[in-house]
Chains A and B, each alone.
Chain A
């Protein structure tokens, strides 16, 4: 990220000491689908710090908002299910809403981070291959989700 001249443009990332661990944000995005939020959200947050993303405050807020939103949505939908005495067959439809929420936050994070990443890459910054971490996350998904307890509720938030 070294320029001959020192004037820094507002949207240019200022990589931290973790700059050598930066990955393309497409990997955390794919991890949401293949491994789960337990891997993707911390990874987005880490990448944001490593990149020195100018929008990292917003990104961190989203990382925090994602599980909170999942909990609120699950609670709201659960309440609706009980109050309206809906049939058990309606539950998979509710799950679609939860998945859409999770994907929406992940896309939003990806969209914010891809700008900083593009500039980082453009200036020749180092980029790690995120595929091994994503593959490991995919393989460990079952074990990790089991560790979140048997109630199913925490699993849903972490998945």
Chain B
């Protein structure tokens, strides 16, 4: 049941069930592994890592535990550890296309494009109608600018499963790249009707809005960049910017250029105000867009 909830994107329901299961049987390795996957979705990486450790200690060769371990390691950008779990996973279940997709993700994150492509081809050979594999190939095509190929893969994925969220999002991304904002938006809304919390669909919607307004677009690019840096490096960038601004202001004053010093201070204040107000404006915009989303009956 928890697995079903997880598949439907109901993290809270899945977590509640897993809590119950683990209260009754704390040695249930599968429940620990599933809980790790739920925590991973909530970006609670330390807790997810802890649950993975418990699952593997209880059952060292449980494929689900290795899947969770590899996924958590990928999220933590601990690539050698991810590779270790993926290798074991593929030894245990060599015919599983999903595992190859995870390995392709590892190659993507480590910049090994050729190996990623070959791994995706292997996955396609194993599961030619698997929409996950088709979308992964479509995303690869999209990244290299092959829009027609990406569209083709999205169509194939949607032919395999018309309600497949990642397929809808991929199609939306293709439209967005072509500058067809309305079509892209329709796909984002369509996907959000299936799952109002789908991160891919929300990201697509935000990307569309960012394209419509340069003020918000600038903030979105800044926020995305900071997110890719992570908390530690992001903090260093902010502190560096602050120190740079202060030193520049002091230097301008020392050089008898009070006008420049004032200008630097004003730019800094504007930047601070913009990054302070930016998120609220963005959230308001997103809320307005999401008002059009209706939840599916299944949800």
List chain A positions with a Cβ less than 8 A from chain B: 3-7, 9-12, 89, 92-93, 96-97, 99-100, 103-104, 107-108, 111, 115
Contacts and interface: CB of A to CB of B under 8 A. Distances in A.
Given A7-B22, A99-B246, A104-B235, A89 B47 contact: no
A6 B23 CA distance: 6
Contacts of B26: 7
Nearest to B32: A7
Contacts of B19: 3-7, 9
28 contacts: A4-B16, A4-B19, A5-B19, A6-B19, A6-B23, A7-B23, A9-B39, A9-B44, A9-B51, A10-B46, A11-B46, A11-B50, A89-B254, A92-B250, A93-B247, A93-B250, A96-B243, A97-B243, A99-B246, A100-B242, A100-B243, A103-B242, A104-B235, A107-B235, A107-B238, A108-B235, A111-B235, A115-B44
Interface in B43-99: 44, 46-47, 50-51
Given A5-B22, A7-B18, 5 more contacts: A4-B16, A7-B19, A11-B47, A99-B242, A107-B239
A96 B246 contact: yes
A5 B23 contact: yes
A6 to B, nearest CB: 5
Nearest to A54: B46
Contacts of A100: 239, 242-243
Interface in B237-276: 238-239, 242-243, 246-247, 250, 254
Nearest to B246: A96
B20 interface: yes
Contacts of B20: 4-5, 7
B239 A11 contact: no
A111 B51 CA distance: 22
B297 interface: no
B90 to A, nearest CB: 29
Contact of A104 (B39, B239, B246, B250): B239
A66 to B, nearest CB: 14
Interface residues of B, number: 24
Given A4-B20, A96-B250, A9 B47 contact: yes
A111 B250 contact: no
The 9 A-B residue pairs with the shortest CB-CB distance in the complex, in nearest-first order: A5-B19, A11-B47, A7-B22, A5-B20, A10-B50, A5-B23, A96-B246, A7-B19, A7-B23
Contacts of B35: 9
Contacts of A6: 19, 23
A134 to B, nearest CB: 16
B292 interface: no
B143 interface: no
Contacts of B46: 10-11
A103 B16 contact: no
A10 B250 contact: no
Nearest to A8: B19
B104 to A, nearest CB: 30
A5 B15 CA distance: 10
A11 B35 CA distance: 13
A10 B47 CA distance: 5
Contact of A103 (B23, B50, B239): B239
A4 B15 CA distance: 12
A85 to B, nearest CB: 18
Contacts of B247: 93, 96
A129 B18 CA distance: 34
